[in-house]
Amino acid sequence: MEGDRDDRDLKAWRGLWDRASRPVALTGAGISVASGLPTGSAKWNGIALRELFTRRRFEEAPGVFFACYRDWLWKWREAVPNPAHAALAEAGVPVVTLNVDGLHRRAGSVLCLELHGRLSELICPACGLLVQGDRAFKETVPHCPDCRRILQPNMVFVGEPVRHFAEAVDLVGDADLLLVVGTRLDVAPVNQFPAVAGRKGIPTIRINRRAERLLPALIAR
Ligand SMILES: [Zn+2]
């Protein structure tokens, strides 16, 4: 029974949560599934998003790239934070996220390191101007209004270095409890976080399913 299992998990986690004064959450696609968003295996016209979202694809065929971006943005901007995002925000838990959906910030999380950037913004690679992604609905291939370069999503392309990593390692190393939610942390460099926590003896709670029920039950008292 899922409810019984949830109760057992919550009982086991309760003591860890109550003793923690500096919890940090690491979140991935699984936390946003209840908001209607896909996980990393999602496809667009039969092509996996992680294959589409490369710098090579972007540079070789920006028109195709932005056709995908528009579809993606359309779907993703309709998503709203779910109770798991809200619980972390209300409890003031710092968040390190692999997600580009911006839902932690929309839920009100102030300290939120978005390692892969943000889908809903476009950035000019030449002058750094940030504009809303909606601009891609007005131009087939959106250009910088200032310097006319092709804009790119304010996100990390597949295979490129993540952002804020040193800051994230410091945050994790300083925590006294790690909440790992909706990610297996099985890709570099985030696969280093469990080792960082292990070396410092930081306990870890892993929530891989039903975070929208389990996190509020654990955190909101
Ligand atoms: Zn520019």
SS (H, E, C) the chain: CHHHHHHHHHHHHHHHHHHCCCEEEEECHHHHHHHCCCCCCCEECCEEHHHHCCHHHHHHCHHHHHHHHHHHHHHHCCCCCCHHHHHHHHCCCCEEECCCCCHHHHHCCCCEEECCEEEEEEECCCCCCEEECCHHHHCCCCECCCCCCECEEEECCCCCCCCCHHHHHHHHHHCCEEEEECCCCCCCCHHHHHHHHHHCCCCEEEECCCHHHHHHHHHCC
Instruction: Answer yes or no: do 66 and 105 share one domain.
Output: no
User: What was the pLDDT predicted at 220?
Assistant: 77
Report how far ligand 1's centroid is from the alpha carbon of 130 (Å): 9
**One domain for residues 63 and 110:** no
- Residue 29 CA to ligand 1 center (angstroms) comes to 31
Say what the pLDDT of residue 221 is. 61
The alpha carbon of 123 and the centre of ligand 1 are apart by a number of angstroms equal to 8
Cα(153) to centroid(ligand 1), Å:
13
CA 150 – ligand 1 centroid, Å? 8
Same domain, 127 and 210: no
Task: Report pLDDT digits (tens) over 20-77.
Answer: 999 999 999 999 999 988 776 677 788 787 788 899 999 999 999 999 999 889 888 8
Q: Which of 85, 104, 116, 143 is catalytic?
A: 116
Task: Mark whether 164 is an active-site residue.
Answer: no
Q: 128 alpha carbon to ligand 1 midpoint, in Å?
A: 6
Q: What confidence score (pLDDT) does residue 139 get? A: 96
CATH number of domain containing 96 = 3.40.50.1220
* pLDDT cut 70: percent of the chain above it: 98
What's the domain range around 54? 39-78+118-155
CATH code for position 127? 3.30.1600.10
**Which range among 42-56, 66-80, 81-95, 176-190 shows the weakest confidence by mean pLDDT?**
42-56
